[in-house]
């Protein structure tokens, strides 16, 4: 009886195993038939070779291979089924997934290491023109490469912030590139792809500017300071103390280059301002004074006309940072007409503090060149329609020569002179002498700070000084 019970119990233990196994075996033909039908249908819709399609569709996707490997492992763990064959097939599929991953990584590395110019540049790259570009010779690469200790990139960043506070505009980024066609120490400053200034520095020396009138310096190489054209010497670093003791101003080559760049940006600030930049500036003012901006632009004045007013101010180095005052003055003057020069004059009159401060020396004193009564009377009589001065050629020549000489004498005494004229003559007089005296500001009497000290440098007459 006990023997029969044990036999019956063993039979009960084997029955589920045999039943499950029989069910799985009976499903295998159906699985093979279904797979064959799927392959046949795929084959019917394709034109490539059958073997290539099988490999591509069944072994080309890593996720499918991983799922198949997991399924085979699960089957191998079922009771009564051999584990080793299923585990071997699963290991083969995992290996295929690993090899595909390695091949993809190698392909990505090869693509990243391929030369950048191996593919044809896009039309956007070909047609793009950088606003500001600083091209340097190969000898200046240590000065512009931050990884090699160059400080020019950081200096340029600080310069952009400084000019933004000084001029009231956002200076666009400066693109620094090397140019093998330049001299080793040469550099070129380009605006919209066109060269506007150039220079040359010696990276292994310092520039000693001859502001004290020293005629020579032992061991120094004669040069010209690039901004104002002053006499200078390229000296060795060890001679710096000697040069400073003789009254020379010593600066490093990075300072020479960035100072030149700053002066170029100041002179061309009006060309850096466009509609997009002005619209951005108006956004800042609109957040605090919405009625002022909403009433003026575009109801009374178009954006383009306002850009012209601001460009006119920047062309004469008048900061537009106090944009609220400018807009208030323009809004008050625009009912009488939308002429850009007249609106710019109204803005200058409202910015009298900024205008006076810009021409004053460090001690707050303004050194002015005046016009005598006869010359002023003659200029006013020569005023043609359209606000253009048309004096006699000899009068114009005498005016320019005398003003230039007086400005030179004041500069030698380390003063920044200006020409002071009547209010109604300021704009036409500036247009008359601007090409010959671009660095001498012309101020109207109403633009003077009444509390500033005024010193007369000299008086210009209609008669030649010769």
96-124 confidence digits (pLDDT tens):
777 777 777 666 665 555 454 445 666 66
Please give the sequence-ordered ranges of beta strands (E in DSSP) within 317-422, or none if there are none: 365-371, 383-384, 388-389, 418-421
Residue from 278, 252, 261 nearest 160 by CA: 261
288-340 confidence digits (pLDDT tens):
999 999 989 988 999 999 999 999 999 999 999 999 999 999 999 999 999 99
2-44 helix and 50-59 helix, angle to the nearest 10 degrees: 120
Asked whether 422 and 442 are in contact (CB, 8 A), the reply is no
Q: Which residue is listed with tokens 């029969």?
A: 4
Overall size of the chain counted in residues: 466
Asked whether 233 and 225 are in contact (CB, 8 A), the reply is no
What is the model's pLDDT at position 307? 96
**3-state helix/strand/coil string of 32-75:** HHHHHHHHHHHHHCCCCCHHHHHHHHHHCCHHHHHHHHHHHHHH
Place 370 in a pLDDT band, splitting at 50, 70 and 90.
very high
% pLDDT > 90, the chain: 58
411-448 confidence digits (pLDDT tens):
888 888 999 999 999 999 999 999 999 989 999 999 99
**Quick one: which H or E segment has residue 310?**
helix 303-315
Tell me what the mean pLDDT of segment 210-219 comes to. Answer: 79
pLDDT at 269 over 80: yes
Question: Which residues have a Cβ under 8 Å from the Cβ of 202 and sit 6 or more positions away?
Answer: 185, 221, 234, 253
- Give 454: exposed, middle or buried? Use CB within 10 Å, 0-12, 13-18, 19+: middle
Number of Cβ atoms within 10 Å of the Cβ of 199: 19
What is the model's pLDDT at position 273? 94
Q: Which residue has the higher pLDDT, 45 or 189?
A: 189
- Give 76: exposed, middle or buried? Use CB within 10 Å, 0-12, 13-18, 19+: middle
272-291 confidence digits (pLDDT tens):
999 999 999 999 999 999 99
How far apart CA 22 and CA 283 sit, in angstroms, is: 80
228-256 confidence digits (pLDDT tens):
888 899 999 899 999 988 888 999 999 99
What is the model's pLDDT at position 384? 86
**Mean pLDDT rounded to a whole number for the chain:** 84
Place 76 in a pLDDT band, splitting at 50, 70 and 90.
confident
Is residue 91 classed as helix, strand or coil in its secondary structure? helix
């Amino acid at each position: 009886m006990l023997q029969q019970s044990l036999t019956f119990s063993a039979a009960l233990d084997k029955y589920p195993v045999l039943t499950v196994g029989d069910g799985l075996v009976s499903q295998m033909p159906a699985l093979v038939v279904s797979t064959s039908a799927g392959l046949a249908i795929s084959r019917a819709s394709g034109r490539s070779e059958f073997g290539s399609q099988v490999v591509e569709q069944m072994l080309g996707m890593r996720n499918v291979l991983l799922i198949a490997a997991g399924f085979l492992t699960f089957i191998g763990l079922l009771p009564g089924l051999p584990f080793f064959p299923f585990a071997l097939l699963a290991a083969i599929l995992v290996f295929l997934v690993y090899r595909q991953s390695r091949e993809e990584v190698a392909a990505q590395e090869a693509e990243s290491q391929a030369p950048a110019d191996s593919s044809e540049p896009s039309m956007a790259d070909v047609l793009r023109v950088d606003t500001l570009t600083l091209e340097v010779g190969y000898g200046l690469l240590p000065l512009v490469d931050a990884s090699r200790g160059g400080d020019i990139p950081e200096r340029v960043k600080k310069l952009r912030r400084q000019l933004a506070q000084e001029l009231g505009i956002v200076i666009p980024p400066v693109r620094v590139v090397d140019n093998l066609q330049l001299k080793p120490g040469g550099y070129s400053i380009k605006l919209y792809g066109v060269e506007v200034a150039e220079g040359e520095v010696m990276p292994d020396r310092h520039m000693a500017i001859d502001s004290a009138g020293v005629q020579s310096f032992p061991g120094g190489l004669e040069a010209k300071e690039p901004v104002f054209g002053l006499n200078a010497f390229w000296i060795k670093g060890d001679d710096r103390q000697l040069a400073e003791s003789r009254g020379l101003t010593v600066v490093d080559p990075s300072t020479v280059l960035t100072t030149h760049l700053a002066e170029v940006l100041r002179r061309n600030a009006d060309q850096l301002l466009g509609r997009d930049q002005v619209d951005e500036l108006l956004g800042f003012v609109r957040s605090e004074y919405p009625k002022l901006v909403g009433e003026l632009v575009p109801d009374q004045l178009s954006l383009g006309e306002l850009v012209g007013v601001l460009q006119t101010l920047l062309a004469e180095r008048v900061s537009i940072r106090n944009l609220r005052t400018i807009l208030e003055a323009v809004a008050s003057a625009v009912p009488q007409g939308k002429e850009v020069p007249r609106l710019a004059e109204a803005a200058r009159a409202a910015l009298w503090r900024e205008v006076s401060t810009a021409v004053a020396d460090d001690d707050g004193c303004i050194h002015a060149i005046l016009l005598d009564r006869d010359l002023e009377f003659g200029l006013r009589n020569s005023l043609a329609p359209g606000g253009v001065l048309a004096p006699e050629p000899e009068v114009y020549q005498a005016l320019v020569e005398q003003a230039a000489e007086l400005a030179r004498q004041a500069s030698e005494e380390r003063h920044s002179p200006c020409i002071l004229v009547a209010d109604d003559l300021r704009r036409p007089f500036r247009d008359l002498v601007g090409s010959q005296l671009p660095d001498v500001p012309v101020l109207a009497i109403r633009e003077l700070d009444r509390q500033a000290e005024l010193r007369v440098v000299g008086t210009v007459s209609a008669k030649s000084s010769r």
